[in-house]
């Protein structure tokens, strides 16, 4: 329960998520196929990233689904069945892996992200901000987190500019 509460704790105002999460910004700036199916995995209670992608003021993507932990879902905002067998062209996990508290929870989360990504031509964009990193007993380095991603995906390359807080593109 403590782990779930910490994972659901929103950042402070003006914190790491801010107005335009870096992973969402990367997708907006680099993905041209507006009809691609996109899963905003760990969208947060208000699904800000989803709205930036396809909301009235969004970037024009037309097939975006918000998924959040069941205890943090809002009816009409999140699809509670989004990861139940559906596969997406693009899975965006913005500020998700850094708040996983244990190696077991991280592994489960990465399995869910990988399991939601289309095997052929699917891609996941996953960031690992410098803070907060909540893993107990201590946070993984960016290199160690990339190693965890490689347990679930065949190819992982950095596409974000900051090596200490990378955005990765993960594929099968």
The tokens for 60 are 């024009």
Residue that has been written with the tokens 């009816």 in this structure: 75
What is the rounded distance in angstroms from the CA atom of residue 100 to the CA atom of residue 6? 9
pLDDT at residue number 133 = 86
Strands 155-158 and 167-171 turn out to be antiparallel
pLDDT by residue for the chain (172 residues), tens only, comes to 544 444 444 443 333 445 668 999 999 999 999 999 999 999 999 999 999 999 778 999 999 999 999 999 999 999 999 999 899 999 999 999 999 999 999 999 999 999 999 999 999 999 998 888 888 778 899 999 999 999 999 999 999 888 888 999 999 9
Q: Please, are residues 152 and 77 in contact by the beta-carbon 8 Å criterion?
A: no
pLDDT at residue number 131 = 82
The tokens for 76 are 């009409």
pLDDT at residue number 18 = 52
pLDDT at residue number 13 = 37
> Is pTM, for the whole model, over 0.85?
yes
Helix (H, G, I), strand (E, B) or coil at 45: coil
pLDDT at residue number 55 = 74
What is the rounded distance in angstroms from the CA atom of residue 142 to the CA atom of residue 133? 11
pLDDT at residue number 87 = 97
């Amino acid at each position: 329960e403590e782990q779930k509460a910490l994972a659901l704790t929103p950042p402070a105002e003006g914190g790491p998520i801010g107005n335009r999460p870096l992973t969402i910004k990367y997708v907006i700036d680099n993905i041209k196929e507006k009809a691609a199916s996109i899963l905003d995995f760990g969208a947060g209670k208000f699904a800000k990233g989803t709205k930036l992608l396809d909301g009235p003021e969004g970037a024009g993507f037309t097939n975006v689904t918000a998924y959040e932990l069941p205890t943090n879902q809002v009816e009409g905002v999140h699809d509670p069945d989004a990861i139940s067998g559906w596969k997406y062209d693009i899975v965006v996990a913005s500020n998700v892996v850094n708040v996983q508290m244990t190696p077991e929870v991280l592994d489960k989360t990465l399995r869910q992200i990988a399991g939601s990504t289309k095997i052929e031509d699917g891609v996941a964009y996953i960031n690992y901000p410098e803070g907060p990193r909540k893993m107990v007993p201590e946070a993984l380095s960016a290199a160690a987190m990339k190693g965890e991603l490689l347990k679930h995906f065949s190819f992982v390359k950095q596409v974000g500019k900051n090596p200490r807080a990378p955005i990765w593109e993960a594929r099968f």
